[in-house]
Structure 1
Amino acid sequence: MLDASSHTACNRTSSDTPNSAPTTALAALEARFQQDLAWLELPAKPWVPPKIVNGRAVLDVAVIGGGQAGMAAAASLLHLGIDAVIYDQSPAGFEGPWATTARMETLRSPKKLTGPALGFAALTFRAWFEAQFGLQAWEALDKIPRLQWMDYLRWYRKVLALDIRNDHRIDAILPRADGVVELHIGAPAGRSVVLARRVVLATGRDGLGGAYLPPLAQNLPQAWWAHSCDDMDYGKLAGKRVGVIGAGASAMDSAATALEAGAERVDLLIRRAQFPRINKGKGAGNPGLTNGHVDLPDEWKWRIRHYINVQQTPPPSGSVQRVAKFANARFLFGAAIDKVDVVDDSLRVTTPRGLFEFDFLIFSTGFRIDWSARPEFAAIAPHIRNWRARYMPPIGDEDMELSDSPDLGAAFEFQQKHPGGLPGLERVHCFCYPAALAHGTVSGDIPALSDGARRLAQGIASLLYCEDVGMHYKNIQAYAEPELAGDEWTPSEPTERERQGASR
């Protein structure tokens, strides 16, 4: 269960004394946003024909996951007149990792990125921040504090009036041949079954699996180790010798959190000879790639994503400094793990750099697509076509993450490995990180999240309309609201000369 503790991460300046002004300004911002919607005639009027199956009402779209991607997707659908209900397993206000398992002090994304704002200036983090703390505080802000970003997302949910059902866990996703997807849901009120025409998986970084663990971790007693994404009390590491395996952002965050919790020593065991210095993913970000990646030939999609994977993303400078300020922290490069043994009351880790003893290990080794880790996907997993079945990379460019990635359609929909193997699978849409090879990084990361959400919503709108085009055509034929009453003009007669001219 997620940790439901909450903190405030609002950095006030000395001049920011509490008063009613921030509340008034925020209320004004919310009113402006509602005015923007009214001027743009949003949301559109509902147009999807109601569907009843076996006496049960069917949702237009069910979104699984109420974090920033799920909310942006649902809001985009609602603006197009498509009803969307979000289901999230976390308590209200704790969707996503920000107030639970994330341990960075600030976001690495530049503060000016508009994220899930969907093109509305009044819905940006900056607008929300300035309404409460002013322009001077905004200009003084370096990076967005992690918990403040969570506060912004809570506000985002409120002003968009999104229908999020918290404490709802999806136990099974069952596509059916009759035009619906059946969801089995567990909630405090009991178990239920919901039918939806379309289902969107907005399940985050580990959206189709879970943490990646090297094989050597499989035989270690669970009490001796954790993955950096685990919900763990770092206070239990006080006074202990801790080894952190990895060199990414999560490795730095885990190491720093352990040090701040009073660990006796923290060693970062890093396979590479040095940190990568350049964030190639940041260099790739521009509107051309955001909109063009999906239309690239397969070889270019693979080439770009594989190159970024190989180059790796450096940890943020601030995160490295957060660790380096501790005298009892060590960065050990070239220390790939050969084996780990439990000897007496410690772990002995063998590396090319030497033999190290620890009381606890933290694996910061990323994520992978692992259907077995997500029992709710059991019915669909064997039928999903992946890139391994679509594309064979050149020798030397093999990439397990990319090969395992799902081969998605234009609306992020899964495709069947064998046509007819699971009718209805294409009604499930993958709007989480594993969509990156097919669509680019538009399905979770902050920079292009709005672009991805709009692409998803527009694609689903097209699919829903095409399914019912016969009914929509009948509605066009039955439409009978006159624009002319018939009394706006008086019929005129031609002159005698005009009539005679016509008879010659």
Structure 2
Amino acid sequence: MSELATHPDNLDALEARLRQDLAWLELPAKAWVPAREVDGQPVTDVVIIGGGMAGLVASGMLKRLGVANHVVLDKAIAGREGPWATFARMRTLRSPKQLTGPAMGLPALTFRAYYEARFGRDAWDALERAPRETWMEYLIWYRKVLELPVRNGVTVDAILPREDGMLDLLCSQGDAKETVICRHVVLATGRDGLGGPYVPDIAEHIDRKFWAHTADEIDFGALRGKRVGVIGAGASAMDNAASALEAGAARLDMFVRRKALPRINKFTGIGSQGVVHGFAGLPDEWKWRFLNYAMGQQTPPPRPSVLRVSSFEQAHLHLESPIGGLRQEDDHVVVTTRRASYPVDFLIFGTGFKIDLSNRPELAALEPCIRFWRDRFPTPAGMANAELEGSPDLGEAFEFREREPGSCPALAKIHCFNFPATLSHGKLTGDIPAISEGADRLARGIVRSLFVADRERHFANLQAFDTPELLGDEWADDNTEALPELSSERT
């Protein structure tokens, strides 16, 4: 057994090993991007918006490739970035524990290395899936050991193109305001990065105190002894239903449109490095075909999440029960389906997210110019899909493209490294399995763009470089000595 396997809670040894691995690989690379100033203000090469998993690994990859002048901004306080400590309510992650996720190919940076260092090899062997809270602790450690430049408590209010080709980020931190000038922006903003939670219009006339979306803060303690309804049966819907039941809900009704819960996770069946690296190379019609089919089949909720709900006698599953109406009556809401009506004291919408830039004020100045798939790709017959039609049409480095050429060249400097990038690039931006590969593609694209943009300065540096390799004393010139006479006779 290794030292880490025999000495639990040995993060010091793991961190020493990581430092050694990085040193042997000569990582991170030396900084190479020329510094810039505008009117005496320093320019930041890359600003990453979002300090969750995607933002951290994007930062790690940029640092690895020598883009040292970058920063990660997150509106949350430290340790509350992303969903894991907020609206994620599963007991364990849904992904298999052995996936390397944001480790960037470094064994000592994997969740497994972290978990074994803290709890030992036997604990790892006994573990089924990563506990949600421990995963968040791992990400906090990841940020610390890589010394990533994260600023917490900062909200980006607007992204504005500048005449010089750069970008102004209008930011706020409490009552303080600042403008950050940068060359590239990465939107590492998760599932709702280009929109927000989706709630059907049927909820418009119901008082907000009677309902919430799974992405909202919910006081589950207040649901003790209450009748709770959940619309949807995906993973988040199940986790929220379980949280309500565990908090003491008197009755829970889950309403599902389908005849049966989906049972097979189709994309898991074809998961491979071929999909990771090959999906972006598919013809457009095949990208659409793959995702439209997978979305139509739907992803089943994890078995542990379903068992967590079904173990309560007061939990009731209603299949083939789309919501036909919601009616507010005094201190409760009546949910009407094709089968019956159900009084509930509180309703939770597990209805996912939608792309809607009107929900993203920071993108308001850019929204009219952003090109979506519906703007250039005819929807295949029989494959209408509003989510795919509204997906952004991204370039090779996840950059936005212009709806009308020349309308907003700055879009090429804004990279959509969040879930809506899936149709253009595959599942590289929102889930654990291929997040490192996605960040590598992103960072290399930004590096290429920065180098090309600074080509004159790099060429000037090439011309100015004058450190000699040879000092002149390595070998004497034979021409300084007299040459012997050569015979004209043949031998």
Give the alignment's TM-score, normalised by structure 2: 0.96
Paired residue for 2:472?
Answer: 486
**What are the equivalent positions in structure 2 for 1:371-410 lying under 5 Å apart?**
371-410=357-396
C-alpha distance in 1 between matches for 2:47 and 2:363: 15
Paired residue for 2:147?
Answer: 161
| Alignment-mate amino acid for residue 440 of structure 1 | G
Q: Given the superposition, is the C-alpha separation of residues 138 and 473 from structure 1 closer, same or farther in structure 2, using an over 3 Å criterion?
A: same
Q: Given the superposition, is the C-alpha separation of residues 487 and 189 from structure 1 closer, same or farther in structure 2, using an over 3 Å criterion?
A: farther
Q: Given the superposition, is the C-alpha separation of residues 52 and 318 from structure 1 closer, same or farther in structure 2, using an over 3 Å criterion?
A: same
Q: 2:274 aligns with which of 288, 309, 312?
A: 288
Paired residue for 1:477?
Answer: 463
Segment drifting more, 266-275 vs 386-395:
386-395
**What are the equivalent positions in structure 2 for 1:19-418 lying under 5 Å apart?**
21-23=7-9, 25-82=10-67, 83-188=69-174, 190-418=176-404
C-alpha distance in 2 between matches for 1:342 and 1:199: 44
C-alpha distance in 1 between matches for 2:204 and 2:472: 81
Post-superposition shift, 1:111?
0.3
C-alpha distance in 2 between matches for 1:42 and 1:500: 62
Post-superposition shift, 1:375?
1.2
Measured against aligned partners, the alpha-carbon deviations of 1:232-276 in whole angstroms (never above 9, x if no partner) come to 111111111111000100110010000111111000000000011
| Alignment-mate amino acid for residue 410 of structure 2 | G
C-alpha distance in 2 between matches for 1:124 and 1:377: 34
Post-superposition shift, 1:189?
6.1
C-alpha distance in 2 between matches for 1:345 and 1:192: 45
| Alignment-mate amino acid for residue 62 of structure 1 | V
C-alpha distance in 2 between matches for 1:499 and 1:312: 91
Paired residue for 1:428?
Answer: 414
Name the SS of the counterpart of 1:424 in structure 2. helix
| Alignment-mate amino acid for residue 30 of structure 1 | E
Q: Given the superposition, is the C-alpha separation of residues 498 and 142 from structure 1 closer, same or farther in structure 2, using an over 3 Å criterion?
A: farther
Paired residue for 1:15?
Answer: none
C-alpha distance in 2 between matches for 1:132 and 1:66: 24
C-alpha distance in 2 between matches for 1:234 and 1:292: 43
Name the SS of the counterpart of 1:388 in structure 2. helix
Post-superposition shift, 1:284?
2.8
C-alpha distance in 2 between matches for 1:189 and 1:359: 38
Name the SS of the counterpart of 2:323 in structure 1. coil
C-alpha distance in 2 between matches for 1:116 and 1:449: 6
Paired residue for 2:450?
Answer: 464
Name the SS of the counterpart of 1:282 in structure 2. helix
Unaligned runs of 5+ in 2: 1-5
Post-superposition shift, 1:495?
5.3
Unaligned runs of 5+ in 1: 1-19
Paired residue for 1:441?
Answer: 427
| Alignment-mate amino acid for residue 34 of structure 1 | R
- Tell me, yes or no, if the aligned pair for 1:44 and 1:80 is still in contact at 8 Å: yes
Give the alignment's TM-score, normalised by structure 1: 0.93
C-alpha distance in 2 between matches for 1:460 and 1:50: 16
Post-superposition shift, 1:85?
0.3
Q: Given the superposition, is the C-alpha separation of residues 241 and 55 from structure 1 closer, same or farther in structure 2, using an over 3 Å criterion?
A: same
Post-superposition shift, 1:346?
2.2
Paired residue for 1:450?
Answer: 436
Post-superposition shift, 1:54?
2.1
C-alpha distance in 1 between matches for 2:271 and 2:40: 48
C-alpha distance in 2 between matches for 1:193 and 1:228: 33
| Alignment-mate amino acid for residue 14 of structure 2 | L
| Alignment-mate amino acid for residue 206 of structure 2 | L
C-alpha distance in 2 between matches for 1:40 and 1:450: 17
Measured against aligned partners, the alpha-carbon deviations of 1:121-153 in whole angstroms (never above 9, x if no partner) come to 000000011111111111000010000000000
Name the SS of the counterpart of 1:178 in structure 2. coil
- Tell me, yes or no, if the aligned pair for 1:177 and 1:423 is still in contact at 8 Å: no
Post-superposition shift, 1:497?
6.0
C-alpha distance in 2 between matches for 1:470 and 1:56: 22
Paired residue for 1:3?
Answer: none
Q: Given the superposition, is the C-alpha separation of residues 497 and 355 from structure 1 closer, same or farther in structure 2, using an over 3 Å criterion?
A: farther
| Alignment-mate amino acid for residue 74 of structure 1 | S
Post-superposition shift, 1:483?
1.1
C-alpha distance in 1 between matches for 2:239 and 2:224: 16
Q: Given the superposition, is the C-alpha separation of residues 260 and 495 from structure 1 closer, same or farther in structure 2, using an over 3 Å criterion?
A: same
Post-superposition shift, 1:224?
1.0
Q: RMSD value over aligned CA atoms?
A: 1.5
- Tell me, yes or no, if the aligned pair for 1:103 and 1:253 is still in contact at 8 Å: yes
- Tell me, yes or no, if the aligned pair for 1:176 and 1:423 is still in contact at 8 Å: no
Measured against aligned partners, the alpha-carbon deviations of 1:297-333 in whole angstroms (never above 9, x if no partner) come to 1011111111111110000000000000000001110
| Alignment-mate amino acid for residue 249 of structure 2 | A
C-alpha distance in 2 between matches for 1:205 and 1:383: 22
C-alpha distance in 1 between matches for 2:75 and 2:311: 37
Segment drifting more, 218-227 vs 456-465:
218-227
| Alignment-mate amino acid for residue 268 of structure 1 | M
Post-superposition shift, 1:45?
1.1
Segment drifting more, 158-167 vs 36-45:
36-45
